[in-house]
């Protein structure tokens, strides 16, 4: 995924319909995050597999997935997710909506899979 850093524009001046904050790449092991560990995704394109970001750090590889989720359901305003094998197995056991187990996270394929799953839900 290509990221275009927009360091010349403050977040408040970005002309974007759906900007969102996300943690930066490789921050999962940091115990206490601060403002330097987050960035604003000001635009994204699934078609081109690109992001435009504004902030001190490059966005997480899962930014496209987050963007798609926000785009597919306007009632979702915040996301917190974790990678937990026990929770994942429980979701599969309970047949909750989920993506295929063999799709690598942080990929265009994952974002597209979420787009499909969310599109089949009647509520958020």
pTM of whole model > 0.85? Answer: no
CA–CA distance from 85 to each of 88, 89, 97, 115 (Å)?
5, 6, 16, 22
For the chain, the structural domain boundaries read 2-119
Instruction: Write out pLDDT tens, residues 68-117.
Output: 888 888 888 888 777 788 988 998 899 888 888 899 988 889 989 988 88
Exposure pattern of 74-100 as b/e (b: 16+ CB <10 Å)?
A: eeeeeeeeeeeeeeeeeeeeeeeeebe
Under 8 Å between Cβ of 70 and 76: yes
What pLDDT is attached to residue 59? 94
78 vs 21: CA distance, rounded Å: 9
Mean pLDDT of the region 45-58? 89
Residue range 35-40: mean pLDDT, rounded: 95
Instruction: Report H helices in the chain.
Output: 63-72, 85-93, 108-119
């Amino acid at each position: 995924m290509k990221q275009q850093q927009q360091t010349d524009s403050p977040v408040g001046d970005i002309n974007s319909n759906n900007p969102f904050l996300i943690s930066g790449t490789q921050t999962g092991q940091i115990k206490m995050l601060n403002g330097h560990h987050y960035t604003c995704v000001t635009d994204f394109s699934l078609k081109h597999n690109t992001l435009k970001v504004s902030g001190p750090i490059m966005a997480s590889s899962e930014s496209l997935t987050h963007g798609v989720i926000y785009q597919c359901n306007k009632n979702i305003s915040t996301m917190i997710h974790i990678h937990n094998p026990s929770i994942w197995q429980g979701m599969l056991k309970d047949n909750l909506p989920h993506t295929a187990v063999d799709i690598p996270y942080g990929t265009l394929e994952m974002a597209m899979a979420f787009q499909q799953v969310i599109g089949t839900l009647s509520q958020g």
